[in-house]
Amino acid sequence: MDLGIAGRTALVAGGSAGLGKASAKALAREGVDLVVSARGEARLLAAAREIREDSGARVTPVVADHATSGGRAALLAACPAPDILVITCSPPKTTEDYHHIEVDDWRESLDTTLIGPIELMRATLDGMVARGFGRVVNIGTGAAKNPAEIRLLSGPSRAALCNYTVAISKRVARHNVIINNLLPGMYHTATIEERFNAAAAANGTTYEEETARFVDRWRIPSGAFGDPDDFGAFCALFCSRFARNTVGQSLVIDGGLTNVLF
């Protein structure tokens, strides 16, 4: 299927690993030129090389933290007029007990998962409106709709981001500028592999056994963690010409874990 975005330019903030990289790769396969950012240079350069080799796309890596004003300035200097904006980040730390969350933890989470995305959108939406095309996808977490104490540093701020994006999506949609959110559950990303391999080493089990235990504990209906490439395909679709009438949606892709109607 031709998604109708070949030749467009995408800024993927937080695209060096996991679902961000999978989304960048899916866009590159559609002929989109990429500017990809991350905080860690080595992993970012490796990801950019991998995407180029996979797709032949033009990929410009930018070492920057979009949680900071300086990082956002660096991103916008490299890509001042993106047609597509995809924003994500490494998941904030899990929290088994709300008592252990300090004020600085909240500030760090809000800077990365709420303020950073809002400011990037604020800086780029007017240009999209003027050009008559724009797609924005925020990659958040299913915890935005399905609160859990273990995801307190991720869910509340992403829920606020969903609220913000749905509100402003109504204003820009008439100009073919479409904003949506993707809310993933558990996927086989590098972060998850590191976490569950560590648990396996501590428990004398395997990665597969640890992920299966998690699936059973949380009663994930699909019975499995997701494939990042599958997620990337959804992100590319949300960035496509076919998303013209999909406005202000927050789609949960978590194997059926979230038990809500809307």
Burial of 249 (0-12, 13-18, 19+ CB in 10 A): middle
User: Who contacts 229 (Cβ-Cβ below 8 Å, separation ≥6)?
Assistant: 22, 25, 26
Name which of 64-68, 89-93, 222-226 the model is least confident about. Answer: 89-93
What does the chain come to in residues? Answer: 262
* CATH class for the domain made up of 9-187+226-250: alpha beta
| CA–CA distance, 191 with 68 (Å, rounded to integer) | 22
What pLDDT, in 10s, does the model give residues 127-180? 999 999 999 999 999 999 999 999 999 999 999 999 999 999 999 999 999 999
d(CA 178, CA 262): 19
Alpha-carbon distance of 129 to 161, in angstroms, equals 20
CA dist., res. 19 & res. 235, Å (int): 9
CA distance 155 to 148: 8
Angle at 247 between CA 254 and CA 151, to 5 degrees: 30
Domain boundaries defined on the chain:
9-187+226-250
Helix-, strand-, coil-residue percentages of the chain, each rounded to 5? 50, 15, 35
d(CA 8, CA 189): 27
Which strand (E) or helix (H) includes residue 253?
A: strand 250-253
Read off the pLDDT of each residue in 221-248 and give the average, rounded to a whole number.
Answer: 98
Residue 82, by phi and psi: left (phi above 0), alpha (psi -120 to 50) or beta?
beta
pLDDT tens column, 39-70: 999 999 999 999 999 999 999 999 999 999 99
* 262 band by pLDDT with thresholds 50, 70 and 90: confident
Confidence (pLDDT) at 119: 98
On the CB side of 12, how many CA atoms lie within 13 Å of its CA?
33
pTM of the model: 0.95
